[in-house]
Amino acid sequence: MNIQAIYKSFPTQQDCYKHIENLKWSGNPVCPECGSDKISSYKNQARHHCNKCNKSFSVLKDTIFEGTRLELQKWFYAVSLMLNAKKGLSSLQLSRDLGCAYNTAWYIQMRIRCAMLNDHEMLHGVVQMDETYAGGKPRKSNFVGTVSKNKRGRGTNKTPIVGIAEERKGGRVSAEVVENVTTASLMKLLKDNVSIDKATLVTDKFKAYDKMGEIIDHYTVDHAKYFAKNGISTNSIESFWAIVKRALHGQYHSVSKKYLPFYISEMVYRYNQRNNDNKFEKTIDKAVESEKCFKYLKPIKCKTKKK
């Protein structure tokens, strides 16, 4: 859904409230405190009163919109802009588009990213697994003439991200920020994200993948000699990494390790929903789920630990 369609569907603040109420309560308000449906609604206000516990509440309670002072139309615009920006949307750009402060734009985006978390579905078929690394170039130290070393690729000090992509047309992808790329951590990610008995794995010749053949049909591509052979390649996951790198370098420029999992989750979600004509409606539906709210205040942690 584009901006013009949102403007036609939700021309007023009240229309936005009604839409969220239909998603959350199906038109029948329920008290978030005691669960009672004995509710009275305030006139000319988007608030309700519980006749049982005597508390007032809004439909925005326990959603990503809770506590906002910004119009809901602008929230909906932000969702649309983020979903339609294939390579991401910077907070500065969003602040210009919405006419709000930079801090407000960042706050909006982080909450929307919370609605994009945990869109998990097991992958199957031919899947490709690979890793990439996020982080900037080393800067000169305080000592004249010395530069900290930070090589590219494996062995770097950058933050590793492991991804798995389905090779089929319209295939899905899964990616996570990890602490290391050992055999144990890669094996765990494979089991957590792939239906082992319904899949075939393709990787490069990295030694950490050597034991994958013990639990799944495993084929390798020797990138030192060729990029594809007999139809076997890692091009699907490499294409996703190209989008990730363009987003991190071209749009966001600088992302801390603390919040990197949220940015990766956003890119995974947008990639997986690329062929869904109802992705805006799905995202708003996920945004009213109570467990999504405020997750960015306690950033999700990597699932693997350093040895």
**Distance (Å, rounded) from C-alpha 10 to C-alpha 120?**
30
Same-domain pairing of 244 and 181: yes
CATH number at residue 218: 3.30.420.10
Print the domain residue range for 173: 123-266
Is residue 163 in a domain?
A: yes
Same-domain pairing of 127 and 213: yes
**Distance (Å, rounded) from C-alpha 56 to C-alpha 48?**
5
**Residue 188 token pair:** 């765990």
Same-domain pairing of 101 and 153: no
Instruction: Give strand ranges (E) for 8-166.
Output: 39-41, 47-50, 56-58, 123-134, 159-166
Strands 194-204 and 123-134: parallel
Same-domain pairing of 99 and 158: no
| Per-residue pLDDT of the chain in tens (307 residues, 90 and over written 9) | 888 899 899 999 999 999 999 999 987 889 988 989 899 888 777 889 999 999 999 899 889 998 889 999 999 999 999 999 999 999 999 999 999 999 999 999 999 998 998 667 899 999 999 999 998 766 655 445 555 555 666 767 789 999 999 999 999 999 999 999 999 999 999 999 999 999 999 999 999 999 999 999 999 998 888 888 888 899 999 999 999 999 999 899 888 888 999 999 999 999 999 999 999 999 999 998 755 555 555 554 544 444 4
Per the structure, how many domains does the chain have? 2
Residues in CB range of 292: below 8 A, 6 or more apart: 63, 64, 114, 115, 117, 286
- Alpha-carbon distances of 191 from 121, 122, 177, 212, 215, rounded to whole Å: 12, 9, 16, 10, 9
